[in-house]
Structure 1
Amino acid sequence: MQLILASNNAKKLRELQALLGPLGLNLVTQGSLGIPEAEEPHITFVENALAKARHAAAQGQGPAIADDSGLCVRALGGLPGVRSARYALDAGRHPEGVPREMADQANNTLLLETMQGQTERHAHFTCLLVAVRHAEDPEPLIAEGHWAGQLLDAPRGSEGFGYDPLLWLPEHACSAADMRPEQKNAISHRAIACRRMRELMAHHWGLHA
């Protein structure tokens, strides 16, 4: 079964394919089908994910899944939150359309500057997945996962993407970016959300590994 991923992030595609593939799903990015990105005007993860999933399903004429994820920092009242990927862009730190790696670096730099001197370092990743069978599906599947740790004072590790180099995981004595992909895929916020989504898809859509 083909499932449209409402994202063009190649690393996110690999993670979700590895996590949802056992259900017999073949994920394809919306960009590969010529589907433009949806607007994300909402202030919550669930609203943005639902909007993206419905947009991809409508444009691609098939089932779709959307992931709205971000880093929520306790000392910043949950920011950058839903604006995590555009944190530095919103602050005017780089222009629209720069490569993802450059945007990630700018986001990390801005967060480190914002948190300088802050002793409260708790933060967690949130992953909110929404899957729909079609654009007007009245029963969207919604699954959420969290992955908590402490913010570092400097990036560490070369794996992963986004804010992975900044989140220290005390129970593993490493950053999220120190982990091998297969290790991260077993315990991350996206892994937790995907496990819940697999259960929902098995129950409501009749998909089984």
Structure 2
Amino acid sequence: MRQLEDRKLVIASHNQGKVRELRQLLDPLGYTLVTATELSLDEPEETGVTFEENAELKARAAASASGLPSLSDDSGLAVDGLDGAPGIYSARWAGPKKDFGEAMRRVNEELEARAPDNRTARFVSVICLAWPDGHVEFFRGEVEGTLVWPPRGDQGFGYDPVFLPEGYEKTFGEMSAEQKHGWTPGQEKALSHRARAFKLFAEQCLTS
């Protein structure tokens, strides 16, 4: 596992919700962060068929264009009753206008039609760290839960208002940022999928 010795890092994402969460996780650790948007980097087409492949596409493109180590996240909601959909296509279900209200309605309607008694699901996040020389590392985090309807809460982003993590009474949409993905080095556990992937990344790649 290669250590990240540089203190400057590109967040290879144009998704402002992801950027915000990764900043909140990285800022306390003393890293200088710049985003793909701030560098005016093109957003690569996500042609992969797995979270890992899409995360690698984004991280490699940003690292090559910027000359800096780059961190990307590919994530989504996998619904058991929909055979794992929307999965890697979670953002695309929101359409060109990124209407996640419509995406949540679609998930619920298809679930009611196909498997109304099976509302189990999981959020998946794969973080890829890529260096300009082509080296990459992967870190995967998952959180199990169930889907609720109607949506609850207006925090977070994406499918958060319909996802109730296992063992909790609040959806991600009802949780504060600290409750959902707050994690600092030394903490034994992280809740959200992105925080769990980040915890692995931080413990294995970040220098003190």
- Give percent identity, aligned residues only: 37
**Moved segments of 4+, more than 6 Å:** none
Partner of 2:204: 200
Unaligned stretches of 5+ in structure 1?
A: 90-95
Give the residue type in structure 1 aligned to 2:79. V
Give the residue type in structure 2 aligned to 1:31. T
Structure having the higher helix fraction is: 1
Matches within 5 A, 1:65-144: 65-89=71-95, 96=96, 98=97, 100=98, 103-116=99-112, 118-134=116-132, 136-138=133-135, 140-144=136-140
Provide the secondary structure at the position in 1 that maps to 2:91: helix
Matched, 1:190 2:188: no
- The superposition leaves residues 84-107 of structure 1 with CA deviations (integer Å, 9 ceiling, x where unpaired) of 000143xxxxxx3x2x4xx21221
RMSD over aligned Cα atoms: 1.4
Deviation of residue 158 (structure 1)? 0.8
Distance in 1 between the 2:14 and 2:34 partners? 9
TM-score by length of 1: 0.87
Distance in 1 between the 2:139 and 2:94 partners? 28
Deviation of residue 43 (structure 1)? 1.0
Give the residue type in structure 1 aligned to 2:86. P
Partner of 1:92: none
Distance in 1 between the 2:127 and 2:47 partners? 17
TM-score by length of 2: 0.87
Distance in 1 between the 2:201 and 2:10 partners? 15
Deviation of residue 23 (structure 1)? 3.2
Deviation of residue 133 (structure 1)? 2.0
Distance in 2 between the 1:28 and 1:12 partners? 13
Equivalent pairs, count: 192
